Chains A and B, each alone.
Chain A
Amino acid sequence: MELTRETVTALIGAVLAVLLQIIVAPAIALFAAVPNFIVAFCLVRSVATPGHAGPVVPFVCGLIFDLVGGGPVGAMAFVLVLVTFLASRLYLALDNDTLFMPVAILLASTVLAEVLYGIAVVASGGGVSLGEAFLYRTLPCMLYDCVIGLLLYPIAIRVMVGKPLGQPGTPVLR
């Protein structure tokens, strides 16, 4: 594996995300909504570095999330691999170097990831209906994750890419 800037920052970010998920997330839970730093990191990374966002980091992070969290092992790994791939491909296809597109894709992919994970949990015998799962878990969690993703994205752009993306005449992150 070539030690590029993207690779190193991805590894460091993954470790930080896992630690934040284990240590900080339970402490800052709002009611039933526990933030998911792993989801936010993986999706931000897939949008920030779409050309280098391979499936390994999402898979490993998702697997750790499953193993630590007690949910169905492999579910989050599957969801993250799938959604990050879709997000990166969508960004590569739709990127217009504006702020809107990455943010929109980030939010949409976050929603998709949480919804898919909710379906996976319910399907694997969560003991609740899909509607309840969406209302009481998926919805608040996706909102929380969106906020965290929006906070992480500018940082990821600075750290992972090194220079703000943009073109004349469009809003850019500086």
Chain B
Amino acid sequence: MALNFQNNSPAPVGRVPLILTLVLALGLVGVYSAEGPDGPIHRVQSFVEGAAAPLQMAGVPLGEAVEAAEESSSDNAASEGTLTALREQNEQLVAQLTSSEEIRLENERLRGLLNLRDIYDIRGVAGRVIGRSTDAWNQDITLDVGSSSGVETGLTVMGPTGVVGQVISVSAGSCRVRLLTDPQSGAAAMIQSSRAEGIVRGSLDGLLYLENIGADVNIQVGDVVLTSGLGGSYTRGLVIGTVARVEGSAGKDTRKIVVAPNGSVSLMEEAIVVFSAAEDASDRSIPAPSDQAPADGADSAGEGGQDAGDGTEGGSGSTGDGAEGGSGDSGPDDAAGGEGDA
């Protein structure tokens, strides 16, 4: 391709405008560089930038569309090998996520236990739930801590948010805990606000009922129910739950008070066997009750009803009865004894 050097007519562009614009531009650059951020050219620049902002915003949808198109194009262009690698990576990530979530949940549960432990100055041993009841008539769980860890029958067992039951039998490496919702259980309890005392019992319908409360006691939904410690069956001052419903009015012995357990037991995986707690535990702030409905009472735990009953009535309930029965052999036996006492 040959170059054709021509003598075209001279451009009509004058030199004066050219020189003027060049000088002007250079002058602007010089002034711009010399002046500070508050200089006039900087201010003009800021003004123009602000004025152009609406126009720039008009390009946002376009930018999003371009981005979406790029992604779509990238996805469509992915090779089979890439897709296979991505699927494998996805599977690995899902596995990792599952593991992480498991650890997170466990951490959350343990943190709850520790919080409760701190609140009540609990001295005890934590155990993992390794078994649950095998029949429909008993609601109990098995923990992986036993007499070798200092666990004894009759000790209170707490979940992450409150009392769940009582140890009814112990072996060297495990213990069996009767849940509060077991119909055979019963715990001496009291209303935190009014200090009125009664017995929390489980039931077949899965609810916890607060019984033996004086007819003249005014009870409101939301009142916190604690273990009273009467009879020695349960450590005093530990939260059981909150009053969820009051059927009937004050002054009538027929009223039923439903207690919502302060936590779910069905999903509980760790628990603390309480050796002792602070003397003033009943006066300490408690964790906020969970959103468990009363119907979830079947999840809650409890045990040792018999001694609680003793305690409530005469204050002489013996943990020993329940403990002995519990440690004896089986729940039913213990429960029977307990019921008799109550």
How close is A6's CB to chain B, nearest CB, in angstroms? 11
Q: Point out the residues of chain B lying under 8 angstroms from A50, CB to CB.
A: 11
Instruction: Tell me the residues in window 1-51 of chain B with beta carbons closer than 8 Å to chain A beta carbons.
Output: 1-6, 8-9, 11-14, 17-18, 20-22, 24-33, 41, 44-45, 48-49
Residue of B nearest to A101 (CB): B3
Q: Which of A90-98, A106-114, A138-146, A147-155 contacts B (4 or more CB under 8 A)?
A: A90-98
Q: Are B66 and A28 in contact (CB under 8 A)?
A: yes
Residue of A nearest to B33 (CB): A124
Q: Are B18 and A94 in contact (CB under 8 A)?
A: no
Alpha-carbon separation in the docked complex, A95 to B304 (Å): 107
- Per-residue B-contact encoding for A44-68, CB less than 8 Å = 1, 0 else: 0000001111111011001110111
Q: Point out the residues of chain A lying under 8 angstroms from B3, CB to CB.
A: 94, 96, 101
Alpha-carbon separation in the docked complex, A88 to B11 (Å): 9
A70-B49 in contact given A28-B66, A50-B11 (Cβ < 8 Å): yes
How close is B26's CB to chain A, nearest CB, in angstroms? 6
Q: Are A94 and B5 in contact (CB under 8 A)?
A: yes
Instruction: Tell me the residues in window 58-85 of chain A with beta carbons closer than 8 Å to chain B beta carbons.
Output: 58-59, 62-64, 66-68, 70, 72-75, 77-78, 81-82, 85
Alpha-carbon separation in the docked complex, A50 to B13 (Å): 9
Alpha-carbon separation in the docked complex, A19 to B58 (Å): 10
Q: Point out the residues of chain A lying under 8 angstroms from B59, CB to CB.
A: 22-24, 26-27
Q: Point out the residues of chain A lying under 8 angstroms from B31, CB to CB.
A: 74
The listed residue (B2, B12, B18) touching A55 by CB distance below 8 A is B18
Q: Point out the residues of chain A lying under 8 angstroms from B22, CB to CB.
A: 55, 78, 81-82
Q: Point out the residues of chain B lying under 8 angstroms from A51, CB to CB.
A: 8-9, 11-13
Q: Are B28 and A77 in contact (CB under 8 A)?
A: yes
The listed residue (B11, B49, B55) touching A23 by CB distance below 8 A is B55
Q: Is A89 an interface residue (CB 8 A)?
A: yes
Q: Point out the residues of chain B lying under 8 angstroms from A67, CB to CB.
A: 44-45, 48-49
Q: Point out the residues of chain B lying under 8 angstroms from A59, CB to CB.
A: 21, 24-25
Q: Are A92 and B11 in contact (CB under 8 A)?
A: yes
The listed residue (A22, A72, A93) touching B5 by CB distance below 8 A is A93
Q: Is A120 an interface residue (CB 8 A)?
A: yes
Q: Point out the residues of chain B lying under 8 angstroms from A24, CB to CB.
A: 59, 62
How close is B15's CB to chain A, nearest CB, in angstroms? 9
Q: Is A127 an interface residue (CB 8 A)?
A: no
Instruction: With a 10 A CB-CB cut-off, give which of B29, B44, B48, B63 has the most chain A CB atoms.
Output: B29
How many chain-B residues does the 8 Å CB contact rule pick out?
Answer: 42
Q: Is A125 an interface residue (CB 8 A)?
A: yes
Q: Is A136 an interface residue (CB 8 A)?
A: no
Q: Point out the residues of chain B lying under 8 angstroms from A82, CB to CB.
A: 22
A-B contact count (CB 8 A): 126
Q: Are B49 and A81 in contact (CB under 8 A)?
A: no
Alpha-carbon separation in the docked complex, A125 to B36 (Å): 13
Residue of A nearest to B16 (CB): A55
Q: Point out the residues of chain B lying under 8 angstroms from A70, CB to CB.
A: 45, 49
How close is A157's CB to chain B, nearest CB, in angstroms? 17
A73-B45 in contact given A78-B25, A85-B18 (Cβ < 8 Å): yes
Q: Are B33 and A72 in contact (CB under 8 A)?
A: yes
Q: Are A77 and B25 in contact (CB under 8 A)?
A: yes
Q: Point out the residues of chain A lying under 8 angstroms from B5, CB to CB.
A: 93-94
Q: Point out the residues of chain B lying under 8 angstroms from A55, CB to CB.
A: 13, 17-18, 20-22
Alpha-carbon separation in the docked complex, A100 to B2 (Å): 10
Q: Is B56 an interface residue (CB 8 A)?
A: yes
Q: Point out the residues of chain A lying under 8 angstroms from B32, CB to CB.
A: 72-74, 124
A96-B6 in contact given A22-B52, A67-B44 (Cβ < 8 Å): yes
Q: Point out the residues of chain B lying under 8 angstroms from A62, CB to CB.
A: 25
How close is B68's CB to chain A, nearest CB, in angstroms? 11
Q: Point out the residues of chain B lying under 8 angstroms from A19, CB to CB.
A: 55
Q: Are A72 and B55 in contact (CB under 8 A)?
A: no
Q: Point out the residues of chain B lying under 8 angstroms from A85, CB to CB.
A: 13, 18
Q: Are A124 and B29 in contact (CB under 8 A)?
A: yes
How close is B25's CB to chain A, nearest CB, in angstroms? 3
A26-B56 in contact given A53-B13, A55-B13, A100-B1 (Cβ < 8 Å): yes
Q: Point out the residues of chain B lying under 8 angstroms from A54, CB to CB.
A: 13-14, 17
- What are 19 A-to-B residue pairs whose CB atoms are below 8 Å? A22-B59, A23-B59, A24-B62, A27-B59, A27-B63, A28-B66, A55-B22, A56-B17, A56-B21, A68-B48, A73-B44, A74-B29, A74-B30, A74-B32, A81-B21, A85-B13, A94-B3, A94-B4, A100-B1
Additional 11 contacts, C-beta under 8 A, given A19-B55, A54-B14, A78-B22: A23-B58, A56-B17, A67-B44, A67-B48, A72-B33, A77-B24, A81-B25, A93-B6, A95-B8, A97-B4, A98-B1
